[in-house]
């Protein structure tokens, strides 16, 4: 069996209440809940990083798509540079 070590986490009252409620819903201790959720998420993130993969929620995907499709608003300096590069100024 692997040696275990301690990890202390500070939470504000609202966050602790939420974690406590989630643990109660799963019928596990707060420590077990935090361990299950945190380690599982950490493993997913490590795998994604190793595979150069980005995982996004549907809302994040929509925001990303909108950003890619938005017409960029150029600064005056960028417009001036464009004119200079085209030989217009």
* Token code pair at residue 68: 């890619």
Nearest to 16 by CA among 5, 4, 6, 31: 31
Q: pLDDT per residue over 26-49, tens digit each?
A: 999 999 999 999 999 999 999 989
pLDDT score recorded for residue 54: 84
**Which H/E stretch holds residue 48?**
helix 30-50
Q: What does pTM read for this prediction?
A: 0.58
For residue 79 the two structure tokens come to: 């417009």
- The pLDDT assigned to 50 comes to 94
Which residue in this structure is represented by tokens 């500070």? 10
């Amino acid at each position: 069996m692997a040696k275990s070590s301690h990890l202390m986490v500070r939470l504000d009252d609202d966050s602790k209440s939420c974690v406590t409620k989630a643990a109660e819903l799963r019928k596990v201790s707060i420590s077990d809940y935090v361990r299950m959720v945190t380690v599982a998420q950490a493993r997913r993130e490590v795998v994604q990083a190793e595979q150069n993969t980005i995982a996004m929620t549907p809302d994040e995907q929509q925001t990303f798509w909108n950003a890619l499709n938005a017409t960029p608003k150029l600064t005056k300096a960028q417009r001036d540079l464009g004119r200079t590069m085209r030989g217009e100024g």
